Amino acid sequence: MSSADLTGDDLALWQWIWQEEEAIGDRLRAIDHLVDVNQAKVLQGFAKARISGEHMFGSTGYGYDDRGREQLDVLYAAVFGGQDALVSPQLVSGTHALCVALFALLRPGHRLLYASGAPYDTLWPVIGLRDGGAGSLLEFGVDCSVVDLLPDGGIDTGRVEGHLRDHPETTVVAVQRSPGYAWRRGLSVGEIGDLTRAVKAIRPGIRVMVDNCYGEFTEGMEPPEVGVDLTVGSLIKNPGGGLATTGGYLVGTEECVAAAANRLTAPGIGRECGASESHRLLYQGLFLAPRTVGEALKGSLFAAAVLGSCGIECAPRVDEPRTDVVLRMRLGSAERLLRFCQAIQSASPIDAHVRPEAASLPGYAHPVVMAAGTFIQGASIELSADGPLREPYIGYLQGGLTYAHVKWAVAQAVHSLGWRGTTLPNRGT
């Protein structure tokens, strides 16, 4: 179909979309180049791990001698540049994977330092910052300190170094790569590498852990390649490529991954158990991940361009680097946040007829509105929009299996909020 095949409202909509993306053509091509680099890295990982058809099949019961599971770990280690990896559908979320990592690395009397400001909301109960600390690190005698980021959003390495000198009981420095529900930029792998080198210059035995959620394949390197001890993420975000139905991963040193395996199952069992009926979607999802992430990055870029032209402050802006697939939008009111999310939901393939409203969710301190008409429940690599109903009412747009879907959905949201007058057709928003 060409533009000549379109008429009326459809033609007006697509002409506007195509006009908006002309201005970002060079940046879109740069994302294509990034995809090329990361796709080659993934293919080289498949070759190094000697993946074959037999690895697609799963196991039952205890899952002893599950070659598909074992080689999936080898593959992730190769792709992400770590010594070892633990990839498992038994990790039910990114928060669960991070919890496993923290309890694997920390012991009573130790201190955890978050070097990227306060962590994401769902980690507060894990650490003991909220909900009384039942079953948390705090209850087990582990304290936590937070170093805020610099005004420009960078890591305050000087304050981190000072903290380590003043608190020798600090054994883990954690970094959250994506901002979560905070108005700041994402952190680059280069910045994380600089912090890691500075930390280990003071105390070589300290462990650096990175929450890599939303950041995989948005750059040409991953945290293990710059010396990070343990990198953690969710399979229903970037690395699952839109196909993984559940699961999480940990990549890092052999010692740290082994400790995490003992926390996931039990000491003495570690990674020797863990059945899955099939591994194919995890392998195929990782193969598709660079392209899928590229589509989401293009969508984020397009949304920043369009919303910016409507006077909506976005982070990152069009001219800023992208180190995760999340676009933060300062919408300014609860009504705008709700309407934006409702418009995204109406342009989704699943449950387009559903009207999302704010509600209390486990792990969150404020009511949250979530638009996610996704094939896999909660899959943030698919297009979704959400945000807590608290000032300054920031909305978060992430994912998108196809760039075309993001363009269409953003156009509907812009029109729904009246930011472009009445020149665009109303598609039921």
Last-in-domain residue among 278, 306, 330: 278
One domain for residues 90 and 159:
yes
Q: What is the pLDDT of residue 345?
A: 96
Rg over alpha carbons for the chain, rounded to the nearest Å, is 22
CATH number where 356 lies: 3.90.1150.60
Separation between Cα atoms, residue 250 and residue 136, nearest integer Å: 20
One domain for residues 329 and 268:
no
Q: What is the pLDDT of residue 17?
A: 86
Per-residue pLDDT of the chain (429 residues; tens, 9 = 90+): 455 566 666 777 788 888 889 999 999 999 999 999 999 999 999 999 999 999 999 999 999 999 999 999 999 999 999 999 999 999 999 999 999 999 999 999 999 999 999 998 889 999 998 765 689 999 999 999 999 999 999 999 999 999 999 999 999 999 999 998 888 899 999 999 999 999 999 999 999 999 999 999 999 999 999 999 999 999 999 999 999 999 999 999 999 999 999 999 999 999 999 999 899 999 999 999 999 999 999 999 999 999 998 899 999 999 999 999 999 999 999 999 999 999 999 999 999 999 999 888 776 778 999 999 999 999 999 999 999 999 889 999 999 999 999 999 999 899 888 775 434 444 333
Last-in-domain residue among 226, 243, 278: 278
Q: For residue 127, what are the CA distances in angstroms to 123, 124, 148, 157, 181?
A: 6, 5, 17, 22, 17
CATH number where 137 lies: 3.40.640.10
> Would you put residue 428 in left (φ > 0), alpha (ψ -120 to 50) or beta?
left
- Domain containing 78 equals 55-278
One domain for residues 270 and 350:
no
* CA 119, 125, 126, 128 torsion-angle sign: positive
CB-based contact 138:170 (threshold 8 Å): no
Classify burial at 7, counting beta carbons within 10 Å of its beta carbon; exposed 0-12, middle 13-18, buried 19 or more. exposed
One domain for residues 381 and 235:
no
Angle between helices 94-105 and 254-264 (to 10 degrees): 110
Helices (H), 265-309: 280-309
Q: Which residues pair with 359 in a beta bridge?
A: 368
**How many structural domains does the chain have?**
2
Last-in-domain residue among 254, 278, 302: 278
Dihedral over alpha carbons 97, 119, 359, 412 (to 10 degrees): -90
Q: What is the pLDDT of residue 363?
A: 65
Structure tokens at 18: 């195509």
CB-based contact 394:329 (threshold 8 Å): yes
One domain for residues 129 and 256:
yes
